[in-house]
Every structure is written in C-alpha cells, then in structure tokens.
Amino acid sequence: MSSFPMLTLLTFLPIIGMVIVMMLPKEKRSLIKITTLVATGLQVVLAGFMWAGFNYSQAGINNPATFQFVERIPWITFDSGSWLGMIKIDYFLGVDGLSAPMVLLTALISFIAAISSWNIERSVKGYFALFLLLDTGMMGTFLALDFFLFYVFWEIMLLPMYFLIGIWGGPRKEYAAIKFFIYTLFGSVFILLVMIGLYLSVNEVTGEGATFHTFNILSMMNPSNYTQDGILSPFNPDNLRFIAFIGLFVGFAIKIPMFPFHTWLPDAHVEAPTPISVILAGVLLKLGAYGIIRFNYSIFPEITRELVWWIALFGMINIIYGAFCAMAQKDFKKLIAYSSVSHMGYVLLGMASLNEVGLGGAVLQMFNHGTITAMLFLLVGVVYDRTHTRGLNDFGGLANNLPVYTGFAIVAFFAAIGLPGLSGFISESFVFLGAFKVESIRLLTIISAAGIVLGAGYMLWTMQRVYLGKLNEKWTDLKDLDFREYTMLVPLAVIVFLLGIFPSIMLDLMNTSINELVNQVTKTDFHSIMSGMK
C-alpha cells in the first residue's frame, strides 16, 4: 500500500483530459486529439507502473488486507440518528490479480482506440470528451470495491457509449444505440435491487464497535457479516439469495452478452464507429464476466455451486450458436460480433469449471479475446475506411495488393481460431482442460469443443473470401497500411505472440488470486449456516 493515489489517478486521468478537451476551442481538432492521446498514453504508463509495483503473492479477492494500492475514503457518510441508522458509502478502490489484467487491458485498448479515432470528423470535441468519460467509467468499474461506487461507474459508462454509437454511428445508429441502452439498463436495475438487498443484509463493525450496513463488497463475501433477518442473509430461512443470484447474473450476462440476451451486440457493433467497436469488444464485454466472477461467485458461492451446470450450458450455447450465426453472416463486422459471442462462451465455460485451471483460462481468455477481437475490428476498420463497404462478398484477393495488412489479418484470424503459438490457443485449451476435469459438465464440454472446429470453419472461409483468390477489380488501387495503422496493430500483434509463447506473464499475475477465488467459491460455507438454522 502506497500513499501515492495510483488508482485514483488511473481512473480520473481521462477526466482531467476531458476537462482540458472541453476547454479547448472546437476548431483545434488536432490539439483535442493529442490531448486524448496523451491522457490515454499516460494511463498506459501508469498501468505499467502499477504492474511493476504489483505484488504477485497477494491474493485479494475477499481479504481487504491483501488488496493492493487500496484507497479508501468515506464518500457519503452520515449518522442520521433514528431514521436510517448509519449510511456509509466509501470511495474504495483496490486491485488484485483478478482486476489487474483487466486494468492493463482497459488502458491498452483505450490507448489504441484513441489512435484509431484519429479520422473522426464529426464534432471532434464532443466525441473525445465522451470517449474519455467512457474510459474513466470502465477503469472505475474494474477498480471499485464498494458496490455503490461500482454501480455508479457502471452506469456512467452507459451514457457516453450511448451517445458514441448514436451520434457517430452508421445508418441504423438510433436503433442500435437505444437497444444497447435499454438492454444494459434493464440488466442494471436488477443489479441495483440486489445491491440494496445486500446492503440491508450486511453489517460491518467499526473500530468503536458500532455496526452499520455497508456496501463493501469484501464484507459481503463473509457469511459472518450478515444480519440475522436480512432478506439476503443466509441466517434468514426465507432468504431470497437464489433469486438475487439470478437477478445479478442476468444483469451481468446481458453485458457479456450471454444467449438469449445477446441480440443487442451485433446491432451495436455494426453501427458503432471502429474505435467504439474496439472498446465494446475489447473491454465492455469483459465487464459482464468480471462482474459475475467478482460478485456472483464470491458473494453467492453456495448458489454458484448449484448452478454451474446451467452456466456451462449457456456457455456451450453461446459457443455453438455464436459460431453458427457467424458462419451465416455477409457483413464483416457482424461476423466478428458473432465470433465474440462464441468466444465469450469459452469464458462462461471456463468459469463453470470452478477450478484453478478453468477459471484461470477464463480470465486469460477475457484478456486475449480483448486483444484479438480489438485487432479484428481494427482490421475491418482499415478496409472499411478505404472501400466503405463491409460486405464479405465484395472483397477477394486483397492479399495481392495489401500484403502487410493481410499478414496482420492472418495473425489475428489464427489467434482467434486458437492456433498453437498464439495467445488464443493457451486460454482456450486451459478452459477445456479445466472444464473437462469436472464430471458434471463433461458432456457439455465435449459438445463445446465442436465450437473450435466451427470457429476454424468460419474464420478460414472468411479469409478465403476476403484475402485469397482473384483480386476484385474495384480495389486495384488500394493502399497498404499507413503509419497510424501500424501503431495500432503492431502492439496488439506483439501481445498475441508474446502471450502465445509466454502465457506465464499473465498467468503469474493472476495465479494467487485465482487460487483464492476458487477457495472462496468452493469452500465458503453459506449452506451450513442455513441448514443449521432449519
């Protein structure tokens, strides 16, 4: 724990950038862009420092003492006497092995999306201000350890995304933006209710011995903190923990997006401008899975154990259904959107395994999917900028006059398929290894494995249609990548290779925390308390 407010700076650096952008006159377009780039760049540097100072042996998860870079200040505190008891909402940030990879991912993807936003033309000032606000929302969501704070960041994220799709999007932007908004809001009201329920059921004891309700996530993970009669308390024989689990799960699953809540994703991706697609696929989808692991798994372990089969089932459906849908697409972006649905299925499957290998694979898959899919969307953006079409059948033979571009595309596609040596392979095999170990979901795992074949099918078919074969005459004078596009694609490609060869870079970072998480979710005994009551 250091006195330097690392995480606050990490979270609010973009807000500082936003304020500067807002103050700049709107004609100074390049100055606005440079400000954004500097803010996100500094964020990457800070994230790097955080990584360097990160202690690999501290687990976090449920123990406030082993969280790192913790900042905890009372935010809304008042003692209202007889009326409300004591309300206490903390500004509580911290990082552990679960959130650290996500923080790195967020910083990186934001930086790359900022570069990718360079060719935004319409109301530049508004765009970058919202972009930076979105960045803060995402970062805060991963770092918050107070449920209330988490919820506020979660919703803050929603607004800029809505406008970024709705104003700078494609032809059906209105529909896509509102669909995205309503789906997410629908999920978040469930999260809100569960949050209030937990708040009323959990007590924390201050140094002076006074007890009060708390939003502290870590307190919610310990059965001994629950009140006797709270509606989500295991001590209460009529508790609603099962329903609360479902509500919270649905709230997060919409963001993943899990079948059958996935329909907003293809629309949002197709209409969003390239950098926003990159952020959406790279970071936002991870929030759903992160939420389930951080909240559902740790706060409701006993129900998680009951429902792993269902989680695995939905994972399987996501994998297979997403792959089949991807195969049927004629739009390049929609194809990648559905491949995202399929790939997030692996995350769900890995999560369902409830063991170190599977969960580690799931978190790694989150990181890898973030980088690989971001790369895929950037690649689509590159050709879309030049040709203004995304129809898969409009292309053909691009390898002939865009050799470098095709090279990057091949890396990304093969990583997505899961070719050994590239990052996707490691995480997918971890997921399958972990899931296969578990007797109850073995059948589902075997069926899911077909997803790899299907994935290879649609990916290779797409490559053939777009890059191989005879060059379409329309595109003979296309130019290869320029410097800006190199700066976006090279770092991602390096990461894809690096994590393919040395996955331990990431695995070591999260290893201790994953072990502790598995411990929390499989050992924490909410049940015996309940049965002891009956």
Residue span binding other proteins (CB under 8 A) among the ranges 113-121, 153-161, 320-328, 427-435: 153-161
Cis amide leading into 260 (omega within 30): yes
The only residue of 15, 22, 167, 447 in contact with other proteins, by rule CB under 8 A: 167
For residue 275, give the nearest of 502, 464, 408, 114 by alpha carbon: 114
25: contact with other proteins by CB under 8 A:
no
CB of 152 to other proteins, least distance (A): 5
CB of 148 to other proteins, least distance (A): 9
CA distance 408 to 13: 32
Closer to other proteins by CB, 299 or 374: give it: 299
**Could you give phi then psi for residue 101, rounded to 5 degrees?**
-60, -35
Residue span binding other proteins (CB under 8 A) among the ranges 170-178, 315-323, 356-364, 475-483: 170-178
CA distance 104 to 487: 18
Question: Long-range contacts: 491-495, Cβ < 8 Å, 24+?
Answer: 491/108, 491/112, 492/112, 492/371, 492/372, 492/374, 492/375, 492/378, 492/412, 493/375, 493/408, 493/411, 493/412, 495/108, 495/371, 495/423
Closer to other proteins by CB, 77 or 504: give it: 77
- The structure tokens listed for 205 are 């004891």
CA distances from 107 to 13, 75, 137, 292, 516 (A): 11, 26, 12, 21, 25
CB of 30 to other proteins, least distance (A): 22
- The structure tokens listed for 338 are 């559905």
Asked if 415 contacts 334 with a C-beta cutoff of 8 angstroms, the reply is no
Scan for tokens 């329903």, then name that residue: 243
Closer to other proteins by CB, 243 or 447: give it: 243
**Structure letter (DSSP) for residue 120:** -
Burial class (CB in 10 A: 0-12, 13-18, 19+), 210: exposed
15: contact with other proteins by CB under 8 A:
no
Residue span binding other proteins (CB under 8 A) among the ranges 134-142, 148-156, 337-345, 439-447: 148-156
Helix (H) or strand (E) holding 78: strand 68-79
Binding-site string for other proteins from residue 64 to residue 103, where x marks contact by CB under 8 A and - marks none = ------------xxx-xxxxx--x----------------
Dihedral sign computed on CA atoms, order 100, 337, 291, 4: positive
Residue span binding other proteins (CB under 8 A) among the ranges 167-175, 366-374, 456-464, 480-488: 167-175
The only residue of 1, 56, 174, 504 in contact with other proteins, by rule CB under 8 A: 174
Q: How many helices (H) and strands (E) does the chain have?
A: 22, 4
Closer to other proteins by CB, 155 or 394: give it: 155
- Residues 467-496 within binding reach of other proteins (CB under 8 A): none
CB of 15 to other proteins, least distance (A): 13
For residue 355, give the nearest of 444, 440, 434 by alpha carbon: 434
Binding-site string for other proteins from residue 176 to residue 205, where x marks contact by CB under 8 A and - marks none = -xx--xx--xx--xx-xx--xx-xx-----
CB of 73 to other proteins, least distance (A): 14
Closer to other proteins by CB, 101 or 160: give it: 160
CB of 80 to other proteins, least distance (A): 4
Which value, to the nearest 10 degrees, does the dihedral of the CA atoms of residues 318, 324, 326, 327 take?
160
Closer to other proteins by CB, 77 or 119: give it: 77
Closer to other proteins by CB, 163 or 235: give it: 163
Closer to other proteins by CB, 189 or 443: give it: 189
Closer to other proteins by CB, 206 or 528: give it: 206
> What is the full DSSP assignment across 461-473?
HHHHHHTSSSPPG
CB of 294 to other proteins, least distance (A): 19
The only residue of 156, 419, 471, 529 in contact with other proteins, by rule CB under 8 A: 156
163: contact with other proteins by CB under 8 A:
yes
Burial class (CB in 10 A: 0-12, 13-18, 19+), 479: exposed
- The structure tokens listed for 58 are 């501290």
**Count of residues touching other proteins (by CB under 8 A):** 37
CB of 442 to other proteins, least distance (A): 36
Scan for tokens 């692996």, then name that residue: 346
- Residues 212-251 within binding reach of other proteins (CB under 8 A): 231, 240
158: contact with other proteins by CB under 8 A:
yes
Catalog residues that contact other proteins under the rule CB under 8 A: 76-78, 80-84, 87, 151-152, 155-156, 158-159, 162-163, 166-167, 173-174, 177-178, 181-182, 185-186, 189-190, 192-193, 196-197, 199-200, 231, 240
